[in-house]
Amino acid sequence: MAATASDSDGSISKVEFYNGSSLIATLTASPYSVTFTGVQRGSYTVTAKAYDNKGASTTSAPITASVN
């Protein structure tokens, strides 16, 4: 999974990836990508949440990933 994040008046301090409400990974440097491994079969709802250097944050639209 990968996310692109930018901030017009500062910098990105971290990007978090979530499966539902469970944190998968926190990345503090670009590129913001993570491999989602060791998961069981099923459907997962994943989001990315980006934080800027002033503490503001935004969350991506959710995506659904299926593991067969």
**Domains of the chain: residue spans and CATH:** 2-67 (2.60.40.10)
- The per-residue pLDDT for 62 is 97
- The per-residue pLDDT for 37 is 82
| Radius of gyration for the chain, computed over Cα atoms and rounded to the nearest angstrom | 13
- pTM of the predicted protein model: 0.90
- The per-residue pLDDT for 29 is 94
Along the chain (68 residues), what's the average pLDDT of each consecutive run of 10 residues? Answer: 93 96 95 89 96 96 93
